[in-house]
Amino acid sequence: MSQDDFDQLCAYARETAILQSIAELLGWDERTKMPPAAGDFRAEQMTYLSSLVHRRQTDPKVGDWLDKLAASDLASDPHSDAGATIRQMRREYDKLKKLPQSLVEELTRASVLGQQAWVEARKNDDFATFAPILERIVELKRRQADAIGFTECPYDALLDDFEPGETTSNVARILEGLRSELVPLVAAIADSARKPDLEILKRRYAIDKQEAFGKQAAAAIGFDFNRGRLDVTHHPFCAGMGPNDCRLTTRYDERFFPSGFFSILHEAGHGIYDQGLRADQYGLPPGTFVSLGIHESQSRMWENMVGRSQPFWRHFFPQAQQVFPDALRGTTLEEFCFAANDVRPSLIRVEADEATYNLHIIIRFELEQALINDGLAIKDLPSAWNEKYREYLGITPPSDADGVLQDVHWSAALIGYFPTYALGNLYAAQFYAQAARDVGPFDDHFERGEFSSLLGWLREKIHRQGQCYAARELVENVTGSPLSHDALIAYLREKYTGYYGIS
């Protein structure tokens, strides 16, 4: 009997996943192919699909199936496929049911208005016109936290949307540890007399050749173009829209090689995770990524730990020299890699290097907690932002446009999302160190253009686990230790000590 209920629940969830996969295609198309004038109708299509999905996800029969399955044998092992399915679907159902429909609609509306206001405010460097809608969004997010419920602080309820099962206090503890070591490290790098020659990266790199070279590298590290593709967009992203359909996007700058190439590696890292999920469990928790932080760990590992390493370029640099002879003639591998690993405090998160990036995130995470938990007034947000940039990065934004207004997230009612970026870097370093212990060291592999030892380890340890374990459990299972900042700091220290000659 339980098996019948379970099969019905799964069939129902798979149909819902079909609608969600279609929504993904619409979103991808909107950002890559859609004609300019088609936006209004696309919004109608997306809204209609969202309503169909939401109606299905909150249908009482889902609750009935879950009630009947709660005490069944199928639910007894929470880490089995069936157990994880029942647990995760219960979690999702209860959470959606706790949110009043009116609040969902108010949040959707505030998010649309917020993004419109943000575009204008950023363009005009005018925080004051954005403040009222941001105030409204923060108020709605507090109401969301109250509706969902929390143990320690309201921010927990928001963080859980993106990093399920994680707590504010745990993330804060880890990021504070990271910050305390990162701030002096970044300062020491900034003080170093050694600097890379960035001009190397700003020579002419023809866009069609960048595309071909980037695709070749993405395929080499394991992205399957038979089950995916690569297109151009303004803000790179990766979208999965079926078990064999994962699409990467990037943007090219003819005069800045890293822009296109490292975005491709980053998105390919996301795509490799997506392609490593179990197709037979598509649309069900065992075939779904575990958290945004774990997703980001895969993109960051391939982009940075692999893609910015010298062994990687010992394989690819001779090819790059053939593809871009005018740009790279006379440049050494070491000069090129140093340029690709340039560290310097900067204003804009999305352009930040691997080391300072985490400080951008820590600032946002601390300010989000202040807004949600501690009642920081919106009017005081710009000065709080600038103060933290001065303290952690030693720079002060000359304008709100390049400061507190730079990111879309808050305007889109995404609060609790930012920390997953830093968690991604932390997970990546801890996983990578463990992988090197288990199947590495990788230097010789990468130098030969072999990435399958790392890929195979990730497939088994992470991708094929789906949501059978929460992110925190997964890290402990795979590395034997809870998440800490140690591996990331060790990795950064080792890398930059060499380049910058710091101690």
Q: What are the catalytic residues?
A: 267
Q: Which two tokens stand for residue 273?
A: 């995770």
* 246-250 and 238-240 strand pairing: antiparallel
Residue 230 phi/psi, 5° resolution? -135, 130
- Of 196 and 286, which CB lies nearer to a copy of itself in the complex structure? 286
Please work out the total of residues on this chain that contact a copy of itself, with binding judged by CB under 8 A: 34
Binding mask 366-405 for a copy of itself (x = CB under 8 A): ----------------------------------------
In the complex, what is the shortest distance from the CB of residue 169 to a copy of itself, in angstroms, rounded to a whole number? 41
Stretch near a copy of itself under the rule CB under 8 A, chosen from 16-24, 133-141, 215-223, 261-269: 16-24
Whole-angstrom CA distances from 168 to 99, 155, 284, 368, 434 are 21, 7, 27, 11, 26
Q: Does 245 bind a copy of itself (CB under 8 A)?
A: yes
Using the rule CB under 8 A, is 54 a contact of a copy of itself? no
Options 63, 242, 456, 498; binder of a copy of itself; rule CB under 8 A: 242
Q: Which two tokens stand for residue 242?
A: 């079926």
Least Cα distance to 97 among 64, 140, 75, 48 occurs for 64
Residue 93 C-beta: closest distance to a copy of itself, Å: 21
- Which secondary-structure segment (H or E) carries 87? helix 81-98
Preceding peptide of 441 cis, ω within 30°: yes
Determine, following the binding rule CB under 8 A, whether residue 48 of this chain makes contact with a copy of itself.
yes
User: Of residues 40, 199, 326, 494, which one binds a copy of itself by CB under 8 A?
Assistant: 40
Contact indicator for 365, 175 with CB cutoff of 8 Å: yes
> Interface with a copy of itself includes 26 (CB under 8 A)?
yes
Closer residue to a copy of itself, CB minimum distance, 23 or 474:
23
Closest CA to 363 of 406, 399, 398, 401: 406
Nearer to a copy of itself, 282 or 338 (CB): 282
CB of 298 vs a copy of itself, minimal distance in Å? 20
8 A C-beta contact, residue 325 and residue 335: no
| C-beta separation of 388 from 111 below 8 A | no
Distance from C-alpha of 487 to C-alpha of 503, rounded to nearest angstrom: 18
Task: Single out the residue of 8, 27, 42, 321 in contact with a copy of itself (rule: CB under 8 A).
Answer: 42
Using CB under 8 A, which of 29, 92, 254, 476 touches a copy of itself? 29
Q: Which is nearer to a copy of itself, 35 or 60 (CB)?
A: 35
Q: Does 125 bind a copy of itself (CB under 8 A)?
A: no
Q: Which of 2, 8, 45, 50 binds a copy of itself (CB under 8 A)?
A: 45
Question: What does the alpha-carbon distance between residue 309 and residue 499 come to, in Å, rounded to a whole number?
Answer: 12
Q: Which two tokens stand for residue 107?
A: 């949040």
The CA distance from 452 to 465, in Å, is 18
Q: Which of residues 281-300 bind a copy of itself (CB under 8 A)?
A: 282
Q: List, in order, residues 6 or more apart from 149 with CB less than 8 Å away.
A: 98, 157
Examine residue 208 and tell whether it contacts a copy of itself (CB under 8 A). no
Asked if residue 22 binds a copy of itself (CB under 8 A), the reply is yes
Q: Does 94 bind a copy of itself (CB under 8 A)?
A: no
Answer left, alpha or beta for residue 395, where phi above 0 means left and psi between -120 and 50 means alpha: beta
Give CA angle at 59 (57, 61), nearest 5°: 120
Q: Which of 11, 38, 348, 377 binds a copy of itself (CB under 8 A)?
A: 38
Q: How far is the CB of 231 from a copy of itself (least distance, A)?
A: 8
Among 68, 229, 315, 464, binds a copy of itself (CB under 8 A): 229
**How many CB atoms are closer than 10 A to CB 356?**
24
Q: Does 19 bind a copy of itself (CB under 8 A)?
A: yes
Among 21, 115, 170, 484, binds a copy of itself (CB under 8 A): 21
DSSP letter, residue 231: E
Binding residues for a copy of itself, rule: CB under 8 A, are 15, 18-19, 21-22, 25-26, 29, 33-38, 40-42, 44-45, 48-49, 224-229, 242-247, 282
